[in-house]
Amino acid sequence: MLARMDTTVIIVVGVFFLAMGGYALAAPAALARPFRMKIDSPEGRSEIRAVYGGFGLAVAGVLGAAAADFGGIRTGVVIAVGAALAGMALGRLISRAVDTRTAFYPIWFYFCVEVAAAGLLFTVA
């Protein structure tokens, strides 16, 4: 039962990355809009598609492989993705320390998502 729960956590986090990646590839300006980023150039759209889209799909793929534990990669992938999410949350904390206050959404909403997902992944590693 515990192994099934661990796999469920990995799959849920993977689906989040899959959705984010797909959305970034399809609608880069819409993905950036809540962050008040104006994406009005091919270079800007390419950057959102690469960093949020391509990276998101790659993370979803390795999490899928981790859920199936292909080649015994499960623990390494789960720790690596958990660390990446924790690093993203840390970046938001640093930004808060050196920048002005922001509304809860989107910054702190995603901070909470990143911390929760990282914590869950570290728990199942």
Task: Count Cα neighbours of 81 within 13 Å in the Cβ-side half-sphere.
Answer: 33
In one-letter notation, the amino acid at residue 73 is I
pTM for the full model? 0.92
Give the residue from 24, 89, 86 showing the smallest Cα distance to 51: 24
pLDDT at position 70, please? Answer: 87
**DSSP class of 1:** -
Query: Model confidence over 46-90: pLDDT tens digits?
Result: 999 999 999 999 999 999 999 999 899 999 999 999 999 999 999
